[in-house]
Copies of this chain bind each other. A is one copy, B any other.
């Protein structure tokens, strides 16, 4: 699977050359020779201003050769932007100045059918996807079962919207104890904070 770069300035950066020695560079999609439906890894360089152009280029490449893999190289990585390009068909999104070794890794992943995204982006996706988890086969009861008795009691009060002080008063323990149980519950259930806890425990069960 060969590589090609699309860069408005029509210049290969050193790290790109080192990562993909045999790659060719073009200024735009039109400049690419028509080579039939061969698979390629297409690296499109852009910045926030030229993102729409990059997205349009990707669309056209994927229209012509759906089996191509498109990786977006940006000067200013941004999560929302990453989500946008990935949702529109890119299989990778990384910094244009990344080390050659890193780019080789990205190349390896996508050439085998993988998708590349950073840990921070994955974290955001997981946060945003909590409703999905709520609708999973793992019921609320199952999740509560992962907690100890006291953790459960505290979690339920927190899910109602009570503050730590209010929960402490209701259960006749200190605020510090409330925090300890909540932190343990967050970790056990894979939740970020009490808001996610509240959403999780208030999910409708499926009967």
Interface residues of A (CB under 8 A from B): 52, 78-81, 83-84, 86-88, 101-102, 105, 108-109, 112-117, 119, 122-133, 136-138, 146, 160-162, 166, 169-170, 187, 189-196, 198-199, 202-205
**In the complex, chain B residues whose CB is within 8 Å of the CB of A112:** 101-102, 105
**Nearest neighbor of A136 in chain B, beta-carbon distance:** B80
A-B contact pairs, 25 of them (CB 8 A): A52-B146, A78-B169, A79-B136, A80-B132, A80-B136, A80-B137, A81-B138, A84-B133, A86-B122, A87-B126, A105-B108, A105-B109, A108-B108, A125-B125, A125-B132, A127-B132, A128-B130, A128-B162, A129-B129, A131-B132, A161-B193, A161-B195, A161-B196, A194-B195, A202-B203
Q: Report Cα–Cα, A86/B121, bound state, in Å.
A: 12
Q: Report Cα–Cα, A131/B193, bound state, in Å.
A: 20
Q: Is the CB of B122 within 8 A of A169?
A: no
Give A174 Cβ to nearest chain B Cβ, in Å.
15
Q: Report Cα–Cα, A119/B69, bound state, in Å.
A: 13
Q: Is the CB of A83 within 8 A of B129?
A: yes
Give A4 Cβ to nearest chain B Cβ, in Å.
22
Q: Is the CB of B116 within 8 A of A80?
A: no
Contacting residue for A127 out of B127, B133, B137, B161, CB 8 A = B161
Given the interface pairs A115-B119, A117-B122, the reply to whether A79 lies near B131 with Cβ below 8 Å is no
Given the interface pairs A87-B190, A88-B187, A190-B84, the reply to whether A132 lies near B136 with Cβ below 8 Å is no
Q: Is the CB of A83 within 8 A of B190?
A: yes
Q: Report Cα–Cα, A101/B133, bound state, in Å.
A: 30
Q: Is the CB of B105 within 8 A of A136?
A: no
